[in-house]
Amino acid sequence: MPDTYRWGILAPGKIAHKFATGLQFVPEAKLHAIGSRDIDRARDFADQYQAPVWYGSYQELAEDPDIDVIYIATPHSFHMENTLTCLEQGKAVLCEKPLAINSSQVETMIMASKNHQSFLMEALWSRFLPNIIRVRNLIESGAIGAVSHLEADFGFKAPYDPKSRLFNPNLGGGALLDIGIYPLFFATYLFGTPETIESSAKFADTGVDESCSVKLTFSGGKQANLMFTISEFTAVKARITGDNGEIMLPNRWYQPVNVITNAGNDPQEEVIKFVGNGYNYQVHEVHQCLDKGKIESDHWSHRHSLQLMQLMDEIRRQCGISYAVDR
């Protein structure tokens, strides 16, 4: 088992900066190289985060023999292609959410991970945050009694630009794949596989979904009411109710935030101790899996990513959200 894992970052865009910052909080992680379509962008990013190597193509990054694991941060529509390139070179892959555009692409990626015996995990960072795990533990311990309901939203107003990642259908734009994935993940993480799904969407001029609302029901009558939008600011809170109280995650609930439990008339805020900026927790998980020679995480497995994508496929089918790659 190596003392350090050498990381490559493929596509130094906005989220890659946060990821590179998170990586600095993991002593066993070393940022080795950056790959960009533009060598100057790769060099600038490498300088900023003290990576010794940079490349002007993703292929060269994937071929670097001194890299153990590559973090992929391109727009969703390239996740499958970039992942396959890295897996083919025997690299472990942590690929940004959503893992791809649809479940058929996710199946192809899982197959490649198995064929090449190379690790693959979706970078669903919230899954590894202590506040998110704490909420599930509180529910399981009966802290608010029998749980019946989750309400969660995620909304912000993105400036309308038809060419931007969020509004361009060719880049997998739309609210569902970009941010709807968080409340959908949370609902299934807490309550399991939904028994019924009801959804509706509103569309932007480019044809991508700008707002979506989803109602899920689960065994035992549990329900989740979720909404997500890229056209208005919303509270971005999560609230779980049970027959003996409620648990609340405040604004930006999917990030590192405290947990508020109210089992009576006296809300208690639990101060959660976080390390780093939150993106580091998923890196720890990758390292633990690589230490054990695994090709997937037990905590956010291939099956978890596939089931989440199948749920999004169904919401897309109900709402009529489609992309060219589906056809």
Ligand X SMILES: NC(=O)c1ccc[n+]([C@@H]2O[C@H](COP(=O)([O-])OP(=O)(O)OC[C@H]3O[C@@H](n4cnc5c(N)ncnc54)[C@H](OP(=O)(O)O)[C@@H]3O)[C@@H](O)[C@H]2O)c1
Measured CA angle at 228 (ends 222, 231), to 5 deg: 160
Asked if 182 and 254 touch (Cβ cutoff 8 Å), the reply is: yes
CB of 131 to ligand X, least distance (A): 15
In this structure, the number of other CB atoms found within 10 A of the CB of residue 232 comes to 11
Cα–Cα distance for residue pair 190/32, rounded to 1 Å: 37
Question: Residue 132 contacts by C-beta under 8 Å, 6 or more apart in sequence?
Answer: 126, 186, 189, 254
- Cβ(260)–Cβ(134) below 8 Å: no
Residue whose C-beta lies closest to ligand X: 13
138 vs 308 by CB, closer to ligand X: 308
- Give least dist CB 190 to ligand X, A: 20
The string over 185-211, giving b where at least 16 C-beta atoms fall within 10 Å of a residue's C-beta and e elsewhere, is bbbbbbbeebeeeebebeebebbbbbb
**Closer Cβ to ligand X, 207 or 223, answer by number:** 207
Residues 151 and 234 sit within 8 Å (Cβ to Cβ): no
Q: How far is the CB of 295 from ligand X (least distance, A)?
A: 22
- Residues within the interface to ligand X (CB under 6 A): 11-15, 36-38, 41, 73-76, 78, 96-97, 123, 125, 165, 171, 178
| Neighbour-count burial for 11-28, b at 16+ CB within 10 Å, e otherwise | bbeebbbebbbbbebbee
Enter the tokens of residue 153. 């939203």
- For ligand X, the closer of residues 97 and 316 by Cβ is 97
Which residues lie across from 239 on neighbouring strands? 151, 248
Quick one: CA torsion of 45, 50, 52, 57, rounded to 10 degrees?
Answer: -20
Residue 54 vs 191, nearer CB to ligand X: 54
- 306 SS3 class: helix
181 or 319, CB closer to ligand X? 181
**Minimum distance from residue 75 beta carbon to ligand X (Å):** 5
- Calpha distance 309→97 (Å, rounded): 10
Radius of gyration of the chain (CA): 20
Looking at the Cβ atoms of 43 and 222, the one nearer to ligand X is: 43
Cβ proximity of 57 and 76 under 8 Å: no
Measured from the CB of residue 62, what is the shortest distance to ligand X in angstroms?
A: 13
Closer by beta carbon to ligand X, 151 or else 178: 178
The distance of closest approach from Cβ of residue 115 to ligand X in the complex, given in angstroms and rounded to an integer, is: 24
41 vs 134 by CB, closer to ligand X? 41
Residue closer to ligand X by CB (options 125, 185) is 125
